[in-house]
A and B are shown apart, each in its own frame.
Chain A
Amino acid sequence: MRGKFLKVAVAATATAMLATACGGGSDDSDDAGGQSGGELRVYASEPAFLLPSNGNDEPSIYVIRQLYRGLVKYNAETGEAENDLAESITSDDKKLWTIKLKDGYTFDNGEPVDAESFIRSWNYAAYGPNAQNNGYFMKRIAGIKDVTAEDPDGDGPKTAPEPKAKTLSGLKKVDDLTFTVELSSPFTGFPTTIGYSGFFPMAQACVDDADTCNETPIGNGPYKIEGAWERGVQINLTRSDSWNGEPGKPDKINYRIFADVGSGYSAFQAGELDVMYTLPPERFKDAKASYGDRLFEQPGDSFNYVGMPLYNENFKDKRVRQAFSLAIDRQSIVDAVFDGRYSPATGFIAPTFQGAREGVCTYCKKDVEKAKALLAEAGGWKGGKLVLWANAGAGHDAWLQAVGDQIKAALGIDYELKVNLQFPEYLETADNRKFTGPFRLGWGPDYPFLETYLTPVYGTGSDSNNSTFSNPEFDSLMKQGDSAETIDEAITFYQKGEDILAEELPVIPMFWRKEAALYSENVDNFVWNQVSGADYGATSLK
């Protein structure tokens, strides 16, 4: 039976061979895979930018991290920051930081990786008219206000004036391998932040012609680009000879670009890929059944919450917020809606982070009796129909509806979903504080330090504080944490801050996403970095 089947197959393929003989493939076989490092073929979606100052999306960062290296790197298992290109990062007052660099590193074009290369890169990112996405990350450095200029009439007819300064006043070169960074206010966690790819150095040639450098990057990392970025098709990296640090494991990394995760999964099934760091949700069960031990699962750090519009009268009483939180059974939503691929949140800081504690939020488990009692104490619900907000087309309706149903069942409050806004408009509604009821939003860490989950989201007047939470005690704890002598000491302050959040509930913690990655039989040792995800340079092949 099998033999006959194959004969048919041969007949069918013979015609195909004739047809393809003239067009032919460029490479006849990739037998080389497996020997001496080999080529690691990974799933990728199209990066937005390959310039460290501009790439703020996952696909970009996955490539940038192999092309460039920064002052610190993150330990794969603990996520702690360790010096990479930096010899030392020191500060007496946590405000003025002195950074000494290791000698002997160069860019692919021969330029030295010196103090200048970091200052240049950070200035380039911060300077308003360059419109770099990672300008956002430079906001702690002194002088940021002077290099960006506010448009006098919003986005009206007048254009923004030229900023007052071209460079950040907080960045100063001491000698070739030393520079100082002055922050606007003290921050103990500063060394952990600069491992983010937006802080990687840039060669002068790269700043001079950013567009070219975006297509054919001039990196300083263990890999360099081979050829150029083939848009929509692939990016090939090969070991860089100029790299002095620990070399990458594979000889080559091939990023295959897919528009649709489903077609990427098919390519993986057909043996065309070695690593896939994301999975189509509907294929997750199938993947688990087929690849069991080669499916890597890890609790993630992206936080999903239901925000409370504290600017609305009905949500000002914390007992109302507590009652809502107590009405929700997170685990049942995770099981029903996400196939168990999320984990319920019991705090505000990702469980993988140093300083995170289990069960900080005592109001985050279902307790209908207590919820009813608290709501009654607060004088009952006066807001009429509860409006639950989410952006359209991202699949949030299902779980938000479950939240609404549970609140309705527990507290008898009728609800409606408002899920018709596209993401940009939804975000603008958030920025303008126009939500009329609880809203879903998320938060991903900017750096592996627990502060990233606190000040930006709940600090008084913080940009991303969408619930408009304001608590002087919380703010002062954050300040004390920021200027603490050591990280451990800082953590105690931040934890006290988290305790306040657990009591006040400016947002209702919902769940943490779980990360999943698949790797093929060719992979010998798959490395997942706590902070930055799949580490292709450290992954070895059989």
Chain B
Amino acid sequence: MGRYVIRRLLQFIPTVLGTMFLLHYMTSLAIQFSGNPVRALFGDRTPSPALLAAVTERLGYADPCLDQKGNPCFGLFVDRVQNIFFHFDFGINMRQQEVTEMVADRLPFTLKLLVIAIIFEAVVGIAAGVWAGLRGGSFADNLVKISTVFVISVPIFVLGVLVREFVGVKFGNILRDQEWIPDVVASGFFSPGFKPDYPTASLLIPGMVLGAVALATTARLTRTSIMENIRADFVRTARAKGLANKRVIGVHTLRNSLIPVITYLGVDIGSAMAGAVVTETIFNVPGIGRMVTEAARTGEAAVVIGVVTMLVLVILIVNLLVDLLYAVLDPRIRYE
């Protein structure tokens, strides 16, 4: 087990470096082909060359390789990697704010959002899957099947905007007109976006939207898996032993059925992060996703590289944890 973990951790190094180089190369190319982003700060007003040079230097876009189209800027890359790994310096953005500081400010919001999304999709998804799986072909089964197809087929940005318009604004406004509904519900939960006055309540709907797509897949996976296992030999044996139905379903069937589901939920953290980029912008959640969107829009290399590198690390670690979880769920799996 220990060896396995170490081997996996060593594999992180080329993965992270490779990702960083790709990001570095892409952002450098973007600057080489679309010009010095600092110039755009001044817009119509042409700054004096001295001022432009001073600001460019200060923001770290002064390396001459950024003027040569196609140059991979190896020197800049080495500097960057050194700064990141030896000084924990991810650079600054155009507003002269440190990327590490920006991430620290915004990470809590994204984590909260992800936790809400994962809990929502796990609890509701698994419940719906079990409900449908145990009653194959019934009304419940069809209901879950149809509604999940529905959810999966709607892209998250459409879902997000619709929910914001109809749940947050229209329905929320009806509630806000009612005196007797507590504020935390009317203005917090049913807010069209994140609201600093209700930092948790107003994140619930965005979290649910983020979790919705994965919820559908979770429900489907659980359903299929339960249907397979319920007919398995060990379940029949358990029933034959005279165990209570609760125990047969809860321990014997569900535990085995959850292996693919857990894998999926683990992998899904990665795509949930990607989904957060969309959801956070729609619901104005001041998290990492919104930050990346803004940075990509203005072409801020340091932010994009820094944050995406961190995200890659998170995904790698989560995948490792998921692999280790297998052993817990299925005693037959051993890592050597």
Contacts and interface: CB of A to CB of B under 8 A. Distances in A.
A425 interface: yes
Nearest to A139: B48
A233 B281 CA distance: 13
Contacts of A232: 105-106, 286, 290-291
A423 B95 CA distance: 18
Contacts of A17: 182, 184-185, 189
A430 B196 CA distance: 43
A160 B106 contact: no
Interface string B96-131: 110000100110000000000000000000000000
B48 A136 contact: yes
A272 B201 contact: no
A257 interface: yes
B232 interface: no
Contacts of B58: 131
A424 interface: yes
B226 to A, nearest CB: 25
B200 A270 contact: no
Nearest to B173: A270
Given A136-B45, A422-B34, A444-B44, A155 B64 contact: yes
A159 B161 CA distance: 48
Contact of B168 (A150, A270, A441): A270
The B interface, classified by DSSP as helix, strand, loop or mixed, is: helix
Contact of A131 (B33, B55, B102): B55
Contact of B183 (A29, A149, A264): A29
A136 B42 contact: yes
A128 interface: yes
A24 B197 CA distance: 9
A231 interface: yes
Contacts of A257: 286
A395 interface: no
A188 B51 CA distance: 26
Given A148-B54, A232-B286, A463 B188 contact: no
B136 interface: no
Contacts of B21: none
Given A13-B189, A427-B39, A442-B44, A20 B200 contact: yes
B53 A427 contact: no
A231 B175 contact: no
A26 B187 CA distance: 12
Interface in A131-168: 131, 133, 135-136, 139, 148-151, 154-157, 159-160
B177 to A, nearest CB: 10
Nearest to B59: A131
Nearest to A214: B96
Contact of B176 (A56, A271, A422, A443): A271
A148 B48 contact: yes
B37 to A, nearest CB: 5
Contacts of B171: 9
A131 B46 contact: no
Contacts of A231: 97, 102, 105-106, 286
Nearest to A49: B95
Interface size class of B (residues with CB under 8 A): 35 or more
Contacts of B96: 49, 211, 214
A24 B200 contact: yes
A371 to B, nearest CB: 28
Contacts of B42: 56, 133, 136, 427
A260 interface: yes
Given A148-B51, A263-B283, A272 B195 contact: yes
Contacts of A426: 35
A424 B52 CA distance: 12
B174 interface: yes
B303 to A, nearest CB: 13
A446 B45 contact: yes
A313 interface: no
B184 A25 contact: yes
Contacts of A263: 164, 192-193, 281-284
B242 interface: no
Contacts of A293: none
A232 B281 CA distance: 11
A270 B169 contact: yes
B183 A28 contact: yes
A13 B175 CA distance: 10
Interface in B150-191: 161, 164-165, 168-169, 171-176, 178, 181-185, 187-191
Contact of A25 (B176, B178, B192, B201): B201
Given A20-B204, A160-B53, A233-B196, A425 B34 contact: yes
A272 B187 contact: yes
A266 interface: yes
B192 A269 contact: yes
Contacts of A423: 34-35, 40
Interface in A436-460: 441-444, 446, 456
B54 A160 contact: yes
A272 B191 contact: yes
B192 A16 contact: no
Contacts of B165: 266
Nearest to A457: B44
B260 interface: no
A210 B283 CA distance: 33
Interface string A113-139: 000000000000000111101011001
Given A160-B57, A431-B46, A464-B45, A16 B64 contact: no
A21 B183 CA distance: 12
Contacts of B284: 258-260, 263-264, 267
A6 B178 contact: yes
B56 interface: yes
A424 B34 contact: yes
Nearest to B31: A424
A151 B49 contact: yes
Contacts of A246: none
A270 B175 contact: no
A148 B52 CA distance: 11
A133 B290 contact: no
Given A20-B188, A271-B176, A442-B44, A260 B286 contact: no
Which of A26, A48, A139, A267 neighbours the largest number of chain B CB atoms within 10 Å of its CB?
A267
Contacts of B181: 10, 13
B169 A30 contact: no
Contacts of A48: 94-95
Contacts of B44: 441-444, 464
B198 interface: yes
A278 interface: no
B50 A128 contact: yes
Contacts of A463: 45-48
B36 interface: yes
Interface in B252-287: 280-284, 286
Which of B33, B35, B58, B171 neighbours the largest number of chain A CB atoms within 10 Å of its CB?
B35
B19 interface: no
Contacts of A91: none
B51 A270 contact: no
Contact of B50 (A30, A149, A430): A149
A384 interface: no
A408 B54 CA distance: 44
B107 to A, nearest CB: 12
Contacts of B175: 9, 13
8 contacts: A19-B204, A136-B47, A260-B282, A270-B168, A421-B35, A424-B37, A424-B40, A427-B42
* Nearest 5 pairs of A and B residues by beta carbon: A23-B200, A425-B35, A232-B286, A422-B34, A424-B35
Given A139-B48, A151-B49, 6 more contacts: A16-B204, A17-B189, A150-B49, A272-B195, A427-B35, A428-B35
